[in-house]
Amino acid sequence: MRDEIAADLSTLPLHGSGTASVTWWGTLAFILIEGTGFAVGIGAYFYLATVAPAWPMAAPPPDLLPGLIFTGLLLVSVVPNMMVARWAEARDLRKVRAGMVVMTLLGIAPLVARVFEFRAMNVWWDTNAYGSIVWMLLGLHTTHVLTDLADTVVLAALMFTRHGDDLRRYGDVQDNALYWNFVVVTWLPVYVCLYGVPRL
Amino acid sequence: LDPHGTDAARLAGLMWFVMATCAAVWVLVVLTLAPALWRRRAPRPDPLALDAPRERRMRAVIAGAVGATVVVISVFTLTSFVTTRGLGVTGSDEPTIRVRGRQWWWEVEYLDRDPARAFKTANEIHVPVGRPVRLRLEGDDVIHSFWVPSLAGKQDMIPGRTNELVIRAERPGLYRGQCAEFCGIQHAHMAFLVVAEDEVAYARWLEIQRSDAAPPSGPEQEAGRAAFLSRQCAACHTVRGTPAAGTTGPDLTHVGSRRTIGAGLLDTTRGAMAAWIADPQTLKPGNNMPLVPLDADALRDISAYLVGLE
Amino acid sequence: MTQDHDAGTRDHQVDRTMLEARLAKTWRTDPGLWGALATVDHKIIGRRYIVTAFVFLALGGVLAMLMRLQLAGPEARIIGPDRYNQIFTMHGTTMMFLFAVPVMEAVAVYLVPLMIGTRNIAFPRLNAFSYWMFLFGGLLLWVAFALDMGPDVGWFAYVPLSGPQFSAGKRADIWAQMITFTEVAALAVAVEIVVTVFKQRAPGMSLDRVPLFVWAMLVTSFLVIIAMPAVMVASTMLILDRLVGTHFFNPAEGGDVLLWQHLFWFFGHPEVYIIFLPAVGMVSTMVATFARRPVFGYLALVMAMVATGILAFGLWVHHMFVTGLPRLGESFFTASSMAIAVPAGIQIFCWIATLWSGTPRFATPLLWVVAFIVTFVIGGLTGVMVASVPFDTQVHDTYFVVAHFHYVLIGGAVFPLLGAVTYWFPKFTGRMMSERLGTWSFWLIVVGFNLTFFPMHILGFQGMPRRIYTYQPDLPWHGLNLFVSLCAVMLVAGFVLFAVNVVRSLRCGVPAGDNPWDAPTLEWATSSPPPPYNFAHIPVVGGSNPLWESPEKLPVASGLCLDRRELIVSSVVEAQPEARESSPQNSVWPFFAAIATSVMLIGSIFTPWAVVWGAVPVFVTLVGWFWPKGTPEDAA
Ligand code: HEA
Ligand code: HEA
Ligand code: CUA
Ligand SMILES: [Cu+2]
């Protein structure tokens, strides 16, 4: 078999951004995986709620305040998150650096509220199945906050090194922002389950 | 598969129908595959040169075959739905028996509107012929599954839930049942018997079972009872009419009347009884009855006593 | 720091010898142990994956023979109940999680990049990580088994038997954690395949020109992505119940036993199509080559696979027909299960039509295809039988079901796999497998298989439950059981002969050349075995059967750099080239990350704190993995 040159690709860019980027698709695939995980968790929540004679089981409904603070912080964080993504697209190194620092802080702050949220459930994980499932949903979401925070910290550090000003890094920052949005969005149905359903 | 119950007979009918149809489908597939492979044909030097009219004909044939598939599966779905609905129809007044699966034996409790007339036994279920019997199936520890192939399909016994199954034996006889859900180390030896008998025999059996254990019929049995009560046996087993009221193991009030011991493991003979008591862990490794050290006399007496509990 | 790679040497600036030398240097795997640990070449990893999975097949097969030995006679005392329960659990678990799923993904890891004309899989380091996780998970399970700590609760580990109360010790935890390992590995590969297929297809390979095996793997990967999280959640719940006292499955505290079954089978049913669909892809590929015509009904086959994939999520309850769920609901699942017969039928019909109108050449791979059709249809039809609720109440958890799933697993997936090994062996190794030995092992396996497993249907009707370590002599089962056990020896002989054939052909098989079967797909356009960079130039595709459409010369693209690992990223539907993307360099960090993750996961069998402390090394290794090293591949 002989090769016969039929096209010249030398003018193509050296890196694809947005939908041309493989990491973007990879992030999307992981979002799909984890989204399914959340869906399964929520499904299990409703399943247990339907088979149980009373819901919540032998526990007062959760206190609202820490959850509200947490949700508020997450929603607020979406704004700078989007802005960082936009700056990254514009390759504005200075603003991206600042934005990543802000996002790091906005990743830590909700975790503080989260600690109180566990307490606010008014039930322990080993009290009954209700306690188990609410702790699991909270835990599952907390892991996601933590992983994204870790990712943000590393990326923020990276942006301050000589590797920072690079198309690929800007792409990473955008993917990271996308993932954070996912973390925020998945929280909303979980929030409704944890705080809304027991009050029905 | 040897149907002797109403449900089992219906099931067998359905199963034969489905299997025959499927066999026919398979034969058809193979009969088209064979000529597809071995028919004679002209050489085709260019793999991409396709015969357009033939492609169209094949498309039509395939569409037809798919249509036929749809018809077959619709018929299957419908018949199995109808069969399911026809299973286990009952009145409301049939005898109700609660069967609890335990690792690795069956606790059988004949319920009665008058709780005093309810009683427990194990590993052997008696039913009247020709009458539906309602079984209330529960799992005590892990999931077991109640299955008497000749009488009806199986039904799981799930901790925390109650399932119902209605069986109706058409002919008197002994029907073997076996646990069908893996339930641990002795899942293999978790069998039981269903004894279908006529109303008279059944009523007599009920009366005997309701009564307390027979008093020892001789000195050997007398000694056996004493030994039984003084060892750990009484902590796990109940013998009604004696202080023994344990619930960890099967109720032994009328164990001598049962055809087998150890959930279908051995026939109830004196020798088997002694062998079982002497070393349950060798006969049924891992089961929940420990080896209770007994000297030869005690062993002989206890087995005599238990076999005598008819 | 945007380096100017446009200054680097381009492929059209050098002659062929130089081109190949430069590419080989850029894409090389270093020799030695370090190089082997660090490599990210999808072919090397794929080969490892395949070999490892086959080792697990052999191990699982040995266990099967032990079971057959014990079951050959009534009340045999060769294997005790405790050991037997470990053995059948290990057999099922090994076959499903360590052989059948991984082997299919492994073949895809090797072939998909070649079939779509790219130079490496997407996320090659993740791919390396995936292999190590798979290996460590398998080792965990088998080391535990060797220490008499093998799981003994069946391959679907129903609670409460596997729960804290009834499974003391660590056996059930090991099972559950092995699930985590293999699922991480499978999910990683699924992500790679999806992205590779979406974004790295050769220019011009629009979606309607994608080879069917690649389509099959794409659908399979989506099944993996959507099904596996369910079992991850379930096994996590199980571990939590066992380790920290949650009550998900404890009815005494509001938990529910059936929740486990729903979660497991929501994964478990798609799982069987995760095994079967790749086989469909293999069969479609081989049918076309050996009938010497494009497969009949390309679009119908693609739609059938997609339909199977979607329907797969609507059938899980058919494994729970006797748990006492509402009858009407169960009838819905009867209907949906039977509906699968339609796409399955379409596939069978299209393959027969292809053979009918083609010119079949009876090489060993085609024999396997024929055996596949004949046996799989039996298995599929018994599947349709058990999909009927009343039918299933009689045969559920009997040897009838054992027969059903071995017919679909072995007839439906292993036969195509053995065909595929024979078919692609020349591509993997550069040598042909012996046809004579191949035919012998074919007949031994096919005949041995049917003699072994067909009688199991009858045993099922005679009321023999599965998962029993022995049975009593007065039951009418011993004759057939003895027969089955004897015939299994024939089956194994066939497998051994197959293995002998592989080893012999590896050493002294006939050299194959690039395209020994005159096949139409791109993997045959490069040499056998392919060079580290797969293609000297990225092919440009103008049809569904590139090598038949243009047998003499391969249209290719030029203009790629030689000094960095470069491949083409193209658009999802049309495969229009979008960028010359770099593909990561070798790295040993994925290996370290896999070790750190394994330590964390194994530790968490014993204490929840392992997750906390274990996360630190995992974090460190991941940073090492992703931190730029200043190679040309790191920059844009
Ligand atoms: C590769 C694996 C594989 C495949 C492809 C299948 C395919 C199918 N399976 Fe099977 N199955 C398993 C692996 C597989 N299965 C395993 C491992 C288990 C047991 C798990 C365990 O308990 O350990 C199981 C168990 C299992 C059960 C539960 C049984 C029980 O536990 O009681 C059921 C019930 O509905 C079922 C149904 C089906 C159906 C309807 C199909 C269909 O997809 C089949 C479709 C194919 C055809 C129908 C043939 C081709 C079609 C034609 C030629 C057209 C003409 C057809 C008609 C007119 C009907 N399977
Ligand atoms: C792809 C999956 C797969 C495959 C290939 C097989 C292959 C075989 N299986 Fe398996 N089987 C399952 C999946 C599979 N099985 C599952 C999921 C279960 C359910 C488990 C559970 O209940 O939890 C099961 C259960 C099961 C049972 C029921 C056990 C019970 O319920 O008590 C039996 C009984 O006969 C059995 C037998 C066999 C046999 C004889 C083979 C033969 O085909 C094996 C043939 C032999 C080999 C493939 C090895 C040959 C190779 C060599 C010998 C090479 C030489 C090696 C060296 C020199 C190292 N299997
Ligand atoms: Cu009880 Cu199996
Ligand atoms: Cu299924």
Reported as a single tens digit per residue, the pLDDT across C106-117 is 999 999 999 999
Question: Distance (Å, rounded) from C-alpha C236 to C-alpha C609?
Answer: 15
User: Which chains touch C (3+ CB pairs under 8 A)?
Assistant: A, B
C8 lines ligand 2 (CB under 6 A): no
Span A8-29, pLDDT tens digits: 888 888 888 888 899 999 999 9
| Sign of the torsion formed by the C-alpha atoms of C210, C211, C213 and C216 | positive
Q: State the ligand closest to the CA atom of C413.
A: 1
Helix ranges (H only) for C509-634 are 546-549, 589-603, 609-626
- Among B66, B180, B25, residue whose Cα is nearest residue C384: B25
Residue with CA at minimum distance from ligand 2 atom 20: C92
Confidence of residue C144 (pLDDT cuts 50, 70, 90): very high
DSSP bridge partners of C555: A4
Locus of tokens 């006969």: B283
Rg (CA), chain A: 21
Q: What predicted TM-score, i.e. pTM, was given to this entire model?
A: 0.96
Amino acid at C152: D
**Element housing B101 (H / E):** strand B96-102
Q: Please give the number of the atom of ligand 1 that sits closest to the Cα of C154.
A: 23
Percent of chain C whose pLDDT exceeds 90: 87
Asked if residue B51 has pLDDT above 90, the reply is no
- Which residues, numbered 464 to 523 in chain C, qualify as contacts with chain B under a Cβ-Cβ cut-off of 8 Å? 465-472, 520
Q: Give the pLDDT confidence of C524-551 residue by residue, as tens digits.
A: 999 999 999 999 999 999 899 999 998 8
- Strands of B96-102's sheet, edge to edge? B119-122, B105-110, B96-102, B133-139, B162-167
Q: What is the DSSP letter of B138?
A: E
Three state DSSP letters for B230-297: HCCHHHHCECCCCCCECCCCCCCCCHHHCCEECCCCEECCHHHHHHHHHCHHHHCCCCCCCCCCCCHH
CB proximity A50 to C under 8 Å? no
ipTM of the complex: 0.95
User: Cα(A123)–Cα(A128) distance, rounded to whole angstroms?
Assistant: 8
Task: Tell me: pLDDT of C136 over 90.
Answer: yes
Ligand 3 in reach of B100 Cβ (< 6 A): no
The tens digit of pLDDT for each residue in A133-179 reads 999 999 999 999 999 999 999 999 999 988 888 888 999 999 999 99
Which residues fall within 8 angstroms of residue B200, CB to CB, at 6 or more apart? none
User: Does the distance separating the beta carbons of C536 and A25 come in below 8 Å?
Assistant: no
| Closest atom of ligand 3 relative to the B103 alpha carbon | 1
Q: Would you say the CB of residue B189 lies under 6 angstroms from ligand 3?
A: no
- Stretch (H or E) spanning B106: strand B105-110
Partner-chain contact C225 A32, CB within 8 Å: yes
Query: Residue C5: pLDDT band by 50, 70, 90 thresholds?
Result: very low
Per-residue model confidence as pLDDT tens digits over A25-54: 999 999 999 999 999 999 999 999 999 888
Predicted confidence at residue C2, as pLDDT, reads 40
Chain C contact for A3, CB < 8 A?
Answer: yes
List the 30-69 stretch of B: residues with Cβ below 8 A of C. Answer: 30, 32-33, 35-37, 39, 41, 43-44, 47-48, 50-51, 54-55, 58-59, 61-62, 65-66, 69
Percent over 90 (pLDDT), chain B: 70
What the block records as the tokens of C182 is: 């293999």
Q: Are C580 and A12 in contact (CB under 8 A)?
A: yes
For C472, name the nearest residue in chain B, comparing CA atoms only. B265
Lowest mean pLDDT among B40-44, C421-425, C591-595: B40-44
Which range of B45-54, B162-171, C282-291, C556-565 scores highest in mean pLDDT? It is C282-291
Secondary structure of C93-141 as H, E, C letters: HHHHHHHHHHHHHHHHHHHHHHHCCCCCCCCHHHHHHHHHHHHHHHHHH
| Contacts for A86 with CB less than 8 Å, ≥ 6 apart | none
Dihedral (Cα; B166, B169, B175, B177), 10-degree rounding: -10
At which residue do the structure tokens 């149907």 appear? B3
Q: Helix crossing, B219-230 with B296-308: angle to 10°?
A: 110
pLDDT > 70 fraction of chain C, expressed in percent and rounded? 98
pLDDT the model gives residue C14 = 86
B149 CB within 8 Å of a chain C CB: yes
Reference C64, options C40, C36, C95; nearest CA is C95
Binning pLDDT at 50, 70 and 90, where does residue C632 land?
confident
Structure tokens at C289: 């080559």
- A16 vs A12: CA distance, rounded Å: 9
Task: Assign B133 to helix, strand or coil.
Answer: strand
Model pLDDT, residue B1: 57
Q: Assess whether pLDDT exceeds 70 at residue A108.
A: yes
> Which residue owns the Cα nearest ligand 2 atom 8?
C64
Ligand nearest to the CA of C405: 1
Where residue B2 falls among pLDDT bands split at 50, 70, 90?
low
Report domain extents, chain C.
Answer: 41-584, 585-635
Task: Classify strands B96-102 and B133-139 as parallel, antiparallel or unpaired.
Answer: parallel
- Alpha-helical runs (H) found in chain B: 6-38, 52-86, 199-210, 219-230, 233-236, 270-278, 280-283, 296-308
- Cα dihedral sign, A158-A162-A168-A174: positive
> Residues C360, B47: contact at Cβ < 8 Å?
no
* CB-CB contact of B188 with C468 (8 Å): yes
C498 in Cβ contact with C434 (< 8 Å): no
Q: Which residues of A touch C246 (CB under 8 A)?
A: 125-126, 129, 131-132, 135-136
What pLDDT, in 10s, does the model give residues C186-215?
A: 999 999 999 999 999 999 999 999 999 999
3-state secondary structure of B105: strand
Token pair listed for B191:
């069998």
Hey, where are the domains in chain A?
20-199
The residue among B104, B124, B126 whose CA lies nearest residue B255 is B124
A168 touches chain C (CB under 8 A): yes
User: Which positions ≥6 away from C43 have C-beta within 8 Å?
Assistant: C110, C529, C530, C532, C534
Q: Whose CA is nearest to atom 17 of ligand 1?
A: C405
For domain A20-199, say whether CATH 1.20.120.80 is its number: yes
Confidence of residue A2 (pLDDT cuts 50, 70, 90): confident
Which two three-digit tokens encode residue B236? Answer: 């796990």
Q: Which residue's structure tokens are 């709620």?
A: A49
CB pairs below 8 Å between B and C: how many?
Answer: 232
HEC states along C596-627? HHHHHHHHCCCCCHHHHHHHHHHHHHHHHHHC
From C340, C373, C341, C347, select the one nearest C295 (Cα to Cα): C347
- Using a CB-CB cut-off of 8 Å, the residues of chain C touching A50 are none
- Which of C402, C447, C480 has most ligand 2 atoms within 8 Å of CB, for mutation? C402
Whether residue C4 is predicted with pLDDT greater than 70 in this model: the reply is no
Partner-chain contact B187 C468, CB within 8 Å: yes
The answer to whether the CB of C492 falls within 8 A of the CB of C65 is: yes
Can you spell out the DSSP letters for C275-319? HHHHHHHHHHHHHHHHHTSPPTTHHHHHHHHHHHHHHGGG-GGGG
Q: How confident is the model at residue C635 (pLDDT cuts 50, 70, 90)?
A: low
CB of B282 within 8 Å of a chain C CB? The answer is no
C403, B55 Cβ separation under 8 angstroms: no
How many Cβ atoms sit within 10 Å of the Cβ of residue C362? 13
Q: Is C198–A25 a contact, with Cβ atoms under 8 angstroms apart?
A: yes
User: What value does the CA radius of gyration of chain B take, rounded to a whole number of Å?
Assistant: 28
Residue C3 has pLDDT above 50, yes or no: no
The per-residue pLDDT for A112 is: 93
Give A-chain residues touching C559 at CB under 8 angstroms: 8-12
pLDDT of residue B91: 63
Amino acid of residue C424: W
Strands B105-110 and B144-146, how do they pair?
A: unpaired
Average pLDDT value for chain C: 93
Give the residue from B27, B15, B138, B24 showing the smallest Cα distance to C398. Answer: B15
Distance between CA atoms of residues C629 and C8, nearest Å = 19
**Residue showing tokens 């998909």:** C112
Mean pLDDT, rounded, of chain A: 92
pLDDT at C7: 54
Highest mean pLDDT among B35-49, B78-92, C342-356: C342-356
Written as six digits, the tokens of B211 are: 């009564």
Opening angle at CA A80, ends A78 and A85, nearest 5: 90
Q: What are phi and psi of C77, to 5 degrees?
A: -115, 30
Identity of the residue in C123, C577, C619 whose CB atom sits nearest the CB atom of A9: C577
* Nearest Cα residue in chain A from C539: A3
Q: What does pLDDT average to over chain B?
A: 90
**Cα separations (Å) of C30 from C44, C123, C146, C426, C526?**
12, 19, 35, 24, 22
C235-256 pLDDT, tens per residue? Answer: 999 999 999 999 999 999 989 9
Least confident of A10-19, C16-25, C223-232: A10-19
C566: phi > 0 → left, psi -120 to 50 → alpha, else beta; which?
A: beta
A116 Cβ contact partners less than 8 Å away, ≥ 6 residues apart: A65, A66
Of B25, B30, B186, the CB nearest to C81: B186
Q: Mean pLDDT over residues C346-367, rounded?
A: 94
Mean per-residue pLDDT, C600-614: 93
- CA C633 – CA B211 distance, rounded (Å): 87
Q: Is the CB of C446 inside a 6 Å radius of any atom of ligand 2?
A: no
pLDDT in tens, C51-77: 999 999 999 999 999 999 999 999 888
Token pair for residue B58?
Answer: 């094949």
> Three-class SS of residue B140?
coil
From the list A5, A6, A133, the residue facing C248 with the nearest CB is A133
Q: Please tell me the class of the C41-584 domain.
A: mainly alpha
Instruction: Say if residue A56 is preceded by a cis peptide, omega within 30 of 0.
Output: yes
CB contact under 8 A, B62 and C394: no
Give the rounded distance of the alpha carbon of C336 from its chain centre.
25
